[in-house]
Chains A and B, each alone.
Chain A
Amino acid sequence: MKACTMNEKPHIHIELRSNPTYLAGVRQLVASVAQRLGMCEATCSQIALAVDEALCNVICHGYGRKTENPIWISIWPIHRKKPDQTGMRIVIEDEADQVELCQLKSRSLDDPKPGGLGIHIIREVMDTVTYEKRSPRGMRVTMEKFATSAPLKTSAPSSPSPERPTGSKSA
């Protein structure tokens, strides 16, 4: 599959309402796409988790749990030369009130409290995470994960990446 630059249209672009009902479907979509882009099973799960956490933050903190607001998810396959790796870029955008980037902090994990773990999880799982204000309104988070970078080390066993199909069919 040809890797894309940020200026190209996303290969997958969906709009959903800010309703938690749709989180499960988005997780399945993201994990399935990640698998087809060559990620191992553990990485697919972690990417789905990171996307889920980002969506939860938009729904809870951006939109105050109102369920009728728009969220956009865009996905590109990506490639970097050094080291030679393919991966995926996921961009999540909203029209919620903008926040200063310095307010987007992971909570300290020393004293466990309910809540505040989403940003930490996203940054632990993904290779790169960038938050920015979106013009004319809302916020954007861009996340990237590469296939041959190891899934975040946990006790969970990793299964090998699926073999790429051979022949003339595109992925």
Chain B
Amino acid sequence: MEDTTLRIDIESHADITVLTPYGDVDMNRTPALREKLSQAQRAKPSKVVVDLAHVEYMDSSGLATLVEAMRNAKRFQVELVLCSLNPRVLAIFEIARLQEFFTIRPTLDEACQSPA
């Protein structure tokens, strides 16, 4: 059986939704992240935070999903913040020159506190 499941925990506190994916975010698994992100954004909290602390690897399909989410964030006026990127994951953002396109914070606490 093919494993396309990506565990994604979702929590909401004070109109902030935090998505926490676990594992590798590659072409095999990005559909799950895309779906959860879309659902979270359509609920229109004030902010959606994607906590990448438990993501060891991401490829361009993961980046594409996050770029799409960033575009949706601007359209729905729901802030999108990424946090807790490990060096390998941050490296791909830098290779693709996307580190300035996203709001990236070192920790979940800082991501939840960043101004709208």
Contacts and interface: CB of A to CB of B under 8 A. Distances in A.
B90 A117 contact: no
A21 B31 CA distance: 13
A8 B87 CA distance: 37
B11 interface: no
A152 B95 CA distance: 8
A120 B94 CA distance: 12
A42 B28 CA distance: 23
B2 interface: yes
A139 B27 CA distance: 21
Contacts of B70: 112
A143 B39 CA distance: 39
Interface string B35-71: 0000000000000000000000101110111011011
Nearest to A60: B27
Query: Number of contact residues on B: which range applies?
Result: 20 to 34
A102 to B, nearest CB: 21
Contacts of A114: 64-65, 67-68, 71
Interface residues of A, number: 31
Interface string B65-98: 1011011000000000000000110111011111
B101 A154 contact: no
Interface stretch (A32-40, A45-53, A88-96): A45-53
B2 A117 contact: no
Given A24-B24, A46-B95, 15 more contacts: A20-B26, A20-B28, A21-B2, A21-B4, A23-B28, A53-B60, A109-B96, A112-B70, A112-B101, A114-B71, A121-B60, A154-B87, A155-B90, A155-B91, A156-B91
Interface of B: 2-4, 24, 26-28, 57, 59-61, 63-65, 67-68, 70-71, 87-88, 90-92, 94-98, 101
